Structures are given as structure tokens and as C-alpha cells.
């Protein structure tokens, strides 16, 4: 055996032993013998740099130091899931599904792992890209860090597709987190840092490290639970996962197919009782439709699929003392009262502050300074006060008198009829509002301007360099350097990021403006319906647009009635920001104004059919109504859908007729 053959042999052997140890949990050889093989391979690769392989198992030890993480667009959006908190919520979900499809189907139930979402792309059996969730549309390329996780295969075995994505969760087990925390606690204290609080934060922080050697020393693991691609083994989610296990992926065994929502409920109850015995943290159950064609038929909302839901376990609670109440001013001028608490451990983190929402909630709870309160994390994320334990006040108790003036600019607060919140209307000169507007404008989901963190924005405002969004585009290198917060390289990077933001599409520019009630979804709806911002401004009745109600329409109209906002938009237009819809992908307007339902089995995939509808200006909708133009009907269309179509006199069109219409 020559040295090239020995290198190939060692790579195969080490991959086999990594899989046996980290995926199957059945080691074949001792750690000592494994280390001998790895050391031999490292030395041979040093001797033969011409035989370098980016997917060699030696790459798992790290060593590269990165400058930054490249931003990557997801081929398939990484959506979040709608949450449910009771069995009744799950039954409501089941009812909604059965209104859309009327054939028998299976659910797949999985544990909801408390870690960090990751998407892995494999081409010809080799890992070529690993991406974080980011904002769901784009994330960070963390491939080098992911290679250090030994349970993630760098090369696959078996009959895998040529190219596909597999998604999962990077996590750290309870025992390994405990060991790592104890091992590093003193070292972190010596550096003035707190010991690691919980496994999830450690896993998340590890993927953001630029030194891959440091990442390799973290006890990261990964479960995979979803395949995406054009040539998957089957149209069955559960079967695809079993195939992925054969290829070398660590697919968890805690997955079950369920015939009914009652079976789903039993699965939920079982793991609600047994979750504390698991070797890792979970925060709920994920319920999915098993059939991938049915998933496509049921469809998606703006941020989540309609065919899946997360059941969240009851939030953990803690008891502590409320020491004070402070007030935050939001981007829109909304005032939020915040409880300052005696620090308490809750769901793996130390909580010192919790939301009190508004004055009505304070009155309803009967909260007072000095009270013993119960707090929980809403959706296991945001701490909030949920009740008062001792209702009797003592000598040191203080009643909470809700503020009447803005805590920042002292402007009199206003509360509109029917609104729970108080507002500061000093839009132009209230510092927290200005700062929050800029933070929103430059955020990843909006203009995506890297290098403008909270401190930098504050510095620019206080030095009168920015007051309106257009001021960002007139920032000069010499002025930024004088601030003393930016070295030459970061200043150049910031100016490049500002220039690059001019290419951001219209829907994100619209979202970035920060119009009240215009979130990502509404901005996308408006940008898809109108060809430019001028068309939105001149529209007399925005409620004619699907999904736009009276409240949103009034807010948008009010925004454009302000002369300062029109002036700002004109300035941003002149600077070069994009205020026009991207219509160059449209092939025709043959389906303009049409609402089309897809039902049944076709030669083309559902995603291809949806793309064709959009390319010809049509709109795909998931359910039949009197407003449906026609149903694109394939084989095995459900009888109840046919019945509903007949009752509403909605036309059925075959795949062949549909394609002929567009040709």
C-alpha cells in the first residue's frame, strides 16, 4: 500500500469510527487507537499537501481563523413554526388541515430540540455548505465551524441524491454542558465573564466564533430532521429521514408516525412526562404532515408552513421580588413598562427584567413595588410577570403610578381610544425613537447594513451626523474616523455596506421605512401588488388589496400624508434606493388578478406550478372560495373539493389546459 492509498484508507477508517462513536454510540476501537490513526493521517497529509481534501476528517480539529461570515441566501426559506399550547390547539390545527384536504393522511411527530437551526448542503455526497437560519431568507456561512462537529458526516455513503439540503439542530447534551461549564467556569470568571448559562446559548455562541480551533473544543452535536431537494428518495417525509440515516446522518430515534390527532396527543403527553429524563433539552413537540405533496397542497403563510405546528410545553415559572418599574420608548413612540427584579434563575438564564406590557396589565395584575411576583418566559423566550403572590402590601410597598410624560424627552404621553399603550408623539426629537428607527432601518431584514450596531448609531446621532435615513448615504470617511470608534478598515466596510444597501429590493425598503403596522408580510403584499411606491401613495383605497385591512390602510395613508415623509422618500429615490417592484421575472400578465387553487397529483411539482402562476402574474391560494378563479385539478383530487367547486361554480382546469393557456 503506497502513501496515497494509506491516506485514502485512513480517511475511510476514521470516518467509520466517527460515525460509530458519535452517531451510533457504539465505539469499535479505543480512544487511544483512534488518536493513533488520526495522528498518522495528519502527518501523511502534511507530507503530501497535493492530496489535500477539504472533507478529510483532519479538518474537524479546526485551525482556520476567519475574518467574517459570508451571508448566503437560502435556496429554500428557513421558516419558523406556529405555536400551540394545548391539546385543543392541536385539534384546531387538525380541523384546519381537514378543511383543505379531504383524504386520509399521516402525521409525523418529532421532539423540538432546544438548539440552533442549521441547513447543510451536500453535492455528490460531500458537504459543501452549512448555513445558519439568520432571518429565514439568508443566513451565515458557517461551514468551517460545522465541520468540527463529529456527528455531521463530511462524506456520505449509499444511494444519496446528487444535490440536496438537510436541516437540523445543533445542540449540546445536558451532561456535556455540565462538564464543559465546570471546566471553563474559573477561566471565564478570571476574564470577568459569567460562567455559561445554558446549553442553547453555548451552542449558538459557538457557531459564531471565528476561530475554528476554539469551536472544535466545544461539545457540539447535531440531530437532522428534514430533507429538501428536487430528487429526494420519496414523497414521504418519514421514509426520507430513514434513508438519510442510512447515508450516515444522525437522525433521532424519537420520531413516530401518527394516524390521527388523538395519536398525536398521546405522543405529546408521553414526552411531556418523560422529557426530564432525556439526555438533552427539548421545549416542545413538532407535528408535520407526512406526505410532501400534501404539504405543498396545504401551503404556506408568510413566515410559517400551514402543514406543521409546534406544541410548546408549559413555560417554566420562577418567584422573585419586584424592585422597581422603568419605562422603555419604542420605535413608534410606544411606552412599555419593565419590571426590575431581584435576579432569579429561569429556564437556564438569570432574569433581572420582565415585561409588564401596559398600564392595563399592571392594574389587572395588581402589581406594586416590593411585591413577590411570579414570572415566566412567554414562548420560552421573553420573561413576563404573570401574577402577584403576596397581594397584601406592607410598610415598604409602593403603588405604581403610571407615568404621564415621556421618560426621555418629557413630552406629554397620549393614549388613543381602544389602544392599550401610551405613546410619545415627539417623533422628530425623542432620542430613543430616533435610535430605534435607525436600528430597524439598518437591520438584516430591512436594509442589511453591517457595521451599524447600537453604539455606533448612538454615536452618529449624538454627533449630529444622522437624523433622517438619507443622512446615512452622505456619511464621509474623514468624519467617521474623527469619532474615534472606527478604525480605517471598519470605516471602509461600513461605507461599502451602505452603498451595497442600494440594491435591496423594494419590499425590504418599504419595510425599512418603519411605517406602523407594515411588517415584513404587509410590505411584501404591497410590493407585489403595486409596481412602485408612487402607486401606493396615489392609491385611494388600500383595503382593495388582499390582506390589507382598515387599520393598516389608515396607517399607510397617514404616513404618506406627512410632507416630511414624502421629502424623505424623494431624497432616498435620488440617492438610488429601489422604490419599484421587480417585474423582470414576469413572463406575462395572462393570469393577472386570478386566484388559483392547486389540488391533486401532477406531472410538474407543486413548487413548479406555483412559480408558473406567479411568473404570469397570478396568485396561488390554498383554499376554495367564491373569489377563486379556477382550480388547477390533477389526478386524485379530493371529492369534497370537487363538491365545493361545483357548489360555488368554480371551474376545474387540467394541467394540460393550464399549460396550453399560458403558451
**Domain CATH code at residue 365:** 2.40.50.140
Task: Assess whether pLDDT exceeds 90 at residue 31.
Answer: no
Instruction: Specify whether 443 is located in the same domain as 563.
Output: no
Give the mean model confidence (pLDDT) for residues 215-229.
95
Percent composition of the chain: helix, strand, coil (DSSP 3-state, to 5): 40, 20, 40
Catalytic (active site) residue 321 = no
Instruction: Specify whether 382 is located in the same domain as 479.
Output: no
Cβ(400)–Cβ(369) below 8 Å: yes
CA distance 626 to 305: 24
CA distance 168 to 611: 27
3-state secondary structure of 343: strand
Residue given cell 474559573 in the structure block = 186
pLDDT band at 166 (very low <50, low <70, confident <90, very high): very high
Read off the pLDDT of residues 169-211 as tens digits, 9 standing for 90 and up. 999 999 999 999 999 988 888 888 788 878 988 999 999 998 9
Instruction: Specify whether 254 is located in the same domain as 196.
Output: yes
Instruction: Specify whether 149 is located in the same domain as 53.
Output: no
pLDDT band at 29 (very low <50, low <70, confident <90, very high): confident
Q: Which of 47, 112, 352, 421 is catalytic?
A: 112
CATH number of the domain that residue 626 is part of: 3.40.50.10190
> Regarding predicted confidence, which is higher, 185 or 37?
185
H/E segment holding residue 640: helix 639-647
Question: Looking at the domain assignment, is residue 180 inside a domain?
Answer: yes
Cβ(579)–Cβ(572) below 8 Å: yes
Give the mean model confidence (pLDDT) for residues 85-95.
94
CATH number of the domain that residue 212 is part of: 3.30.470.30
- Cα angle for residues 587, 590, 593 (degrees, 5° grid): 115
- 193-208 burial: b if 16+ Cβ within 10 Å, else e: eeebebbbebbbebbe
3-state secondary structure of 262: helix
> What's the confidence (pLDDT) of residue 525?
87
> What's the confidence (pLDDT) of residue 59?
72
Cβ(337)–Cβ(312) below 8 Å: no
Instruction: Specify whether 229 is located in the same domain as 273.
Output: yes
For residue 468, the tally of other CB atoms under 10 A from its CB is 17
CATH number of the domain that residue 18 is part of: 1.10.287.610
pLDDT band at 15 (very low <50, low <70, confident <90, very high): confident
Read off the pLDDT of residues 359-393 as tens digits, 9 standing for 90 and up. 999 999 999 999 999 998 765 467 899 999 876 67
Question: Looking at the domain assignment, is residue 511 inside a domain?
Answer: yes
Give the mean model confidence (pLDDT) for residues 576-582.
88
Read off the pLDDT of residues 484-515 as tens digits, 9 standing for 90 and up. 655 777 888 899 999 999 999 999 999 999 99
Instruction: Specify whether 289 is located in the same domain as 185.
Output: yes
What is the DSSP track for 412-465?
BPB--TT-SS-B---TTT-HHHHHHHHHHHHSTTTT--TT--HHHHHHHHHTTS
Give the mean model confidence (pLDDT) for residues 277-301.
90
Instruction: Specify whether 460 is located in the same domain as 401.
Output: no
> What's the confidence (pLDDT) of residue 64?
65
CA distance 286 to 226: 12
Q: What does R_g of the chain's alpha carbons equal in angstroms?
A: 28
Name the E strands within 51-204.
71-73, 83-84, 107-113, 116-123, 126-132, 138-140, 163-171
> What's the confidence (pLDDT) of residue 485?
54
- 7 burial type by CB count under 10 A (0-12 exposed, 13-18 middle, 19+ buried): buried
Question: Looking at the domain assignment, is residue 282 inside a domain?
Answer: yes
Instruction: Specify whether 178 is located in the same domain as 298.
Output: yes
* Backbone phi, psi, residue 53, to 5°: -135, 120
Q: What is the pTM of this model?
A: 0.72
Give the mean model confidence (pLDDT) for residues 563-567.
95
Question: Looking at the domain assignment, is residue 91 inside a domain?
Answer: no
- 279-307 burial: b if 16+ Cβ within 10 Å, else e: ebbbbbbbbbbbbbbbbbbbbbeeebbbb
For residue 43, the tally of other CB atoms under 10 A from its CB is 11
pLDDT band at 62 (very low <50, low <70, confident <90, very high): low
CA distance 38 to 153: 16
Task: Assess whether pLDDT exceeds 80 at residue 34.
Answer: no
> Which has the closest alpha carbon to 409: 514, 516, 324, 327?
327
Domain boundary among the residues 276, 310, 344 is at: 310
pLDDT band at 161 (very low <50, low <70, confident <90, very high): very high
Stretch among 43-52, 88-97, 257-266, 649-658 having the lowest mean pLDDT: 43-52
Instruction: Specify whether 511 is located in the same domain as 368.
Output: no
Q: What cell does 160 get?
A: 444519496
pLDDT band at 483 (very low <50, low <70, confident <90, very high): confident
What is the DSSP track for 21-74?
IIISS---S-HHHHHHHHHHHHHHHHH-GGG--TTSGGGGG---B-S-PPEEE-
Question: Looking at the domain assignment, is residue 620 inside a domain?
Answer: yes
Q: What cell does 643 get?
A: 363538491
Task: Assess whether pLDDT exceeds 70 at residue 4.
Answer: yes
Instruction: Specify whether 201 is located in the same domain as 173.
Output: yes
Full domain range(s) for residue 621: 595-662
- In total, how many domains does the chain have? 6
Question: Looking at the domain assignment, is residue 25 inside a domain?
Answer: yes
- Please, what is the average pLDDT of the chain? 88
Which residues, including other chains, have CB under 8 Å from residue 149's CB and lie 6 or more apart? 60, 170, 220, 221, 222
> Regarding predicted confidence, which is higher, 419 or 538?
538
- 157 burial type by CB count under 10 A (0-12 exposed, 13-18 middle, 19+ buried): middle
Instruction: Specify whether 332 is located in the same domain as 400.
Output: yes
Share of the chain above pLDDT 70, in %: 96
Instruction: Specify whether 465 is located in the same domain as 362.
Output: no
Which residues, including other chains, have CB under 8 Å from residue 136's CB and lie 6 or more apart? 74, 77, 78, 79, 80, 303
> What's the confidence (pLDDT) of residue 584?
47
Q: How far apart, in Å, are the Cα atoms of 54 and each of 4, 170, 654?
A: 16, 21, 49
CATH number of the domain that residue 459 is part of: 1.10.150.20
By DSSP bridging, strand 630-633 and strand 651-653 are parallel
Domain boundary among the residues 268, 284, 310 is at: 310
End-to-end CA distance of the chain: 61
Question: Looking at the domain assignment, is residue 584 inside a domain?
Answer: no
Domain boundary among the residues 367, 394, 422 is at: 422
Question: Looking at the domain assignment, is residue 242 inside a domain?
Answer: yes
Amino acid at each position: 500500500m503506497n502513501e496515497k492509498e494509506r491516506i485514502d484508507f485512513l480517511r475511510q477508517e476514521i470516518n467509520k469510527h466517527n460515525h460509530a462513536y458519535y452517531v451510533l454510540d457504539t465505539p469499535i476501537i479505543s480512544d487511544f487507537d483512534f488518536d493513533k490513526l488520526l495522528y498518522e493521517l495528519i502527518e501523511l497529509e502534511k507530507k503530501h499537501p497535493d492530496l489535500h481534501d477539504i472533507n478529510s476528517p483532519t479538518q474537524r480539529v479546526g485551525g482556520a481563523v476567519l475574518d467574517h461570515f459570508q451571508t448566503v441566501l437560502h435556496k429554500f426559506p428557513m421558516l419558523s413554526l406556529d405555536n400551540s399550547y394545548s391539546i385543543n390547539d392541536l385539534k384546531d390545527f387538525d380541523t384546519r388541515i381537514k378543511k383543505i384536504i379531504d383524504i386520509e393522511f399521516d402525521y409525523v411527530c418529532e421532539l423540538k430540540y432546544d438548539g440552533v437551526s442549521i441547513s447543510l448542503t451536500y453535492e455528490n455526497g460531500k458537504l459543501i455548505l452549512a448555513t445558519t437560519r439568520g432571518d429565514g431568507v439568508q443566513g451565515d456561512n458557517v461551514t468551517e465551524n460545522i465541520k468540527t462537529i463529529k456527528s455531521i458526516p463530511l462524506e456520505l455513503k449509499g444511494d444519496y441524491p446528487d444535490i440536496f439540503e438537510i436541516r437540523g439542530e445543533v445542540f449540546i447534551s445536558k451532561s456535556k454542558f455540565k462538564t464543559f461549564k465546570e471546566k471553563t467556569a474559573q477561566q471565564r470568571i478570571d476574564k470577568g465573564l459569567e460562567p455559561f448559562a445554558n446549553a442553547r446559548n453555548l451552542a449558538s455562541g459557538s457557531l459564531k466564533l471565528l476561530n475554528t480551533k476554539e469551536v472544535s473544543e466545544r461539545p457540539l452535536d447535531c440531530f437532522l430532521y428534514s430533507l429538501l431537494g428536487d430528487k429526494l428518495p420519496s414523497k414521504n417525509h418519514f421514509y426520507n429521514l430513514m434513508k438519510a440515516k442510512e447515508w450516515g446522518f444522525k437522525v433521532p430515534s424519537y420520531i413516530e408516525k401518527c394516524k390521527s390527532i388523538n395519536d398525536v396527543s398521546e405522543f405529546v403527553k408521553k414526552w411531556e412526562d418523560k422529557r426530564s429524563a432525556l439526555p438533552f433539552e427539548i421545549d416542545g413537540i413538532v407535528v408535520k404532515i407526512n406526505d410532501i405533496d400534501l404539504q405543498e397542497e396545504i401551503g404556506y403563510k408568510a413566515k410559517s408552513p400551514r402543514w406543521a405546528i409546534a406544541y410548546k410545553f408549559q413555560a417554566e415559572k420562577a418567584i422573585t421580588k419586584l424592585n422597581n418599574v422603568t419605562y422603555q420608548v419604542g420605535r413608534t413612540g410606544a411606552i412599555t413598562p419593565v419590571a426590575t427584579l431581584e435576579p432569579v434563575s429561569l429556564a437556564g438564564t438569570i432574569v433581572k427584567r420582565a415585561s409588564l406590557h401596559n398600564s392595563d396589565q399592571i392594574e389587572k395584575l395588581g402589581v406594586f413595588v416590593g411585591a413577590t411576583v411570579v414570572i415566566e418566559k412567554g414562548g420560552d423566550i421573553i420573561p413576563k410577570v404573570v401574577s402577584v403572590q403576596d397581594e397584601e402590601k406592607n410598610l415598604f410597598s409602593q403603588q405604581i403610578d403610571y407615568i404621564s410624560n415621556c421618560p426621555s424627552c418629557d413630552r406629554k404621553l397620549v393614549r388613543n381610544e381602544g389602544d392599550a399603550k401610551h405613546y410619545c408623539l415627539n417623533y422628530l426629537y425623542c432620542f430613543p425613537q430616533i435610535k430605534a428607527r435607525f436600528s430597524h432601518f439598518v437591520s438584516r431584514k430591512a436594509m442589511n447594513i453591517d457595521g451599524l450596531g447600537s453604539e455606533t448609531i448612538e454615536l452618529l446621532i449624538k454627533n449630529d451626523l444622522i437624523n433622517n435615513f438619507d443622512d446615512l448615504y452622505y456619511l464621509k470617511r474623514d468624519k467617521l474616523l474623527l469619532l474615534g470608534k472606527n478604525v480605517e478598515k471598519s470605516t471602509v466596510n461600513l461605507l461599502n455596506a451602505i452603498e451595497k444597501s442600494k440594491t435591496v429590493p423594494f419590499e425590504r425598503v418599504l419595510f425599512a421605512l418603519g411605517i406602523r403596522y407594515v411588517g415584513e408580510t404587509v410590505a411584501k403584499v404591497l410590493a407585489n401588488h403595486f409596481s412602485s411606491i408612487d402607486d401606493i401613495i396615489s392609491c385611494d383605497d388600500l383595503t382593495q388589496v388582499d390582506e390589507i385591512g382598515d387599520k393598516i390602510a389608515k396607517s399607510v395613508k397617514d404616513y404618506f400624508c406627512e410632507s416630511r415623509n414624502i421629502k424623505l422618500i424623494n431624497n432616498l429615490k435620488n440617492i438610488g434606493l429601489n422604490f419599484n417592484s421587480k417585474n423582470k421575472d414576469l413572463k406575462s400578465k395572462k393570469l393577472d388578478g386570478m386566484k388559483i387553487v392547486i389540488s391533486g397529483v401532477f406531472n410538474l411539482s407543486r413548487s413548479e406550478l406555483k412559480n408558473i402562476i406567479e411568473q404570469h402574474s397570478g396568485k396561488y391560494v390554498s383554499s376554495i372560495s367564491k373569489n377563486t378563479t379556477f382550480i388547477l385539478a390533477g389526478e386524485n383530487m379530493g371529492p369534497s373539493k370537487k363538491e365545493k367547486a361545483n357548489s360555488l361554480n368554480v371551474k376545474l382546469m387540467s394541467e394540460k389546459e393550464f399549460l396550453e393557456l399560458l403558451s
